Structure 1
Amino acid sequence: MHKPAKPLEGPDTYNDQIRIVLVETSHSGNIGAVARAMKNMGLGNLWLVNPVSFPDEASYARAAGASDILDKATVVSTLDEAIADCVCVMGTSARGRKVPWPVIAPPGAAAKASQQSEAGQVALVFGRENHGLSNEELQRCHFHIHIPSNPDYSSLNLAMAVQVMCYELRMHYLKGLEGGDGSPYLKPMMAPGDEGWDVPPAPVRDVEGFFSHLEQVLVDVDFHRRDNPRQLMTRLRRLFQRAGLDQMEINILRGILTAVQKSAGAAETAKNTSKAGSTAGEQE
């Protein structure tokens, strides 16, 4: 029916403690899309409450490389069966209630789910595509999760809603690794000197050499006049220093400047030769 999928990432995931519960999903393709969203973020514990159709080709086609999530999905008849052994249940809801219920935004829900998962199974419950969870089903949840989407168009596709929560769970998990926000998964790589950049930053002497070279080339091609600079080199200096050049980039730029000088010199030589020939012809 489907191609074998690669396994989940390994022992550094807590995916078995957090279960994603889908209630009476009407389109099996959405189940596959949910499986894909889960595996993207390292989760693999999928429960299905009375799906209209599962398993089928549509669910596996939408799952792409996450067919292993579908292979081990647990199918039950009622929500009570899906949450009976859980220590914490959270249900997604976009509607206000007559009786106020504890409501958590996705980041807070991820933190609470992670904390509770140390004591036992935690269920994140998602309702039907057309009308979500019923009031009775929501009353079985300890907390309601509200995704603060655009109020003028607040309806999320089922897989999108699951992806939002799985992403928040993933981020909370990564921040909890040794090093916290310094985790290699989260550490930014923006410029030379950052961990992971392939070439060291260019030292000041090389950058200054580039600026001198650049100014000379601009003079050579009649773009810049030293006696009337008009802040040109100041602004170019600001531009390139803002970029934060590495050693390889400096070498490439110096090579370009040298090529420009050679080309400009060859053109000037040809121009002078042409003038000389023309003069000689006139003399004859």
Structure 2
Amino acid sequence: MATTNQQYYVNTSSPEELYSKKHVAYPRPKGLYTRIDASYAKGKYLYGWIPNVRLLNHQEKNLISVPKMGGIMHLEYQKPKLRGWLKSTTHTFDLQAEKAALENPQKNAITDKLPKFGIMGKNDCGHFASALQKLIAHEEPKKTGKRAVSETLDANEPTNANKLTMDVGDKMQHNYNEANSNSQHHAATVVAKDGSSLVTLEAHVGKSLKKPQFNIRNGVKGFVADNNVGHGWTGKYDRELGSSVDIGRIGTLEKGSTSDNMTTYKNNYAQMSDYEAGANVAFLKGALGITKTEH
């Protein structure tokens, strides 16, 4: 799947990676990605972008702290067997190993550039979209403090076409009107743009993800249409979830506020080591932790 002018490409069988031509704008936030030399891809897409992110999948989101011998705490979750009549198994979540993997991303023969920070947390679309927006604002503070408007719009109303124009760093949230949906909404932040195509990096509660996935959306209207046909969802049926969308402009963030937001996220991450002592840490309740890498 390629964007309007063939500047970006997502392989739908492995959407955890984005490809781009060499001369185009890098996906944002720039410090989040491992960049690889992807010139092997028929010479058409020269860079590959891999987010330094670890999400908790469906089983891992039910982590609990359990005392071990000697009073040390560790994290466990229950993983059910494929057949219901077999007992579930207990797995240990190695928090420090996962944290170390984010802080020390490894180079290989095709690595061109390493990330400057990483993200860990629940597979929650809204929290992840908000974190990306704040991280983009932190890298590019000139985008904040603008005379922008965040508003709720009908994506299918023709008179809203101009208002639905999105920029990199803007966030969109499709508000579902279906009471029995697995979620009340789906949110995504634009990390790159090519003509009418919006490149998003998304968490998704409807999938058991350990890594976020890139999508190419045909504008806000296309984002809504994709949700309505179950694109990126576990169901294989068409749904009518309505067309109400919250548009959150990056320009509405106040100048200077992004540093405070970043501090909050970093503090959440720093506290993750407290789980060794059985402390209750925010990222397991939906917040995301952010850390700098060693590079």
TM-score per shorter chain, which class?
Answer: under 0.3
Which structure has the larger Rg?
1
Structure with greater helix share of residues? 1
Structure with greater strand share of residues? 2
TM-score by length of 2: 0.21
Higher relative contact order by CA 8 Å / sep ≥ 6: 1 or 2?
2
TM-score by length of 1: 0.22
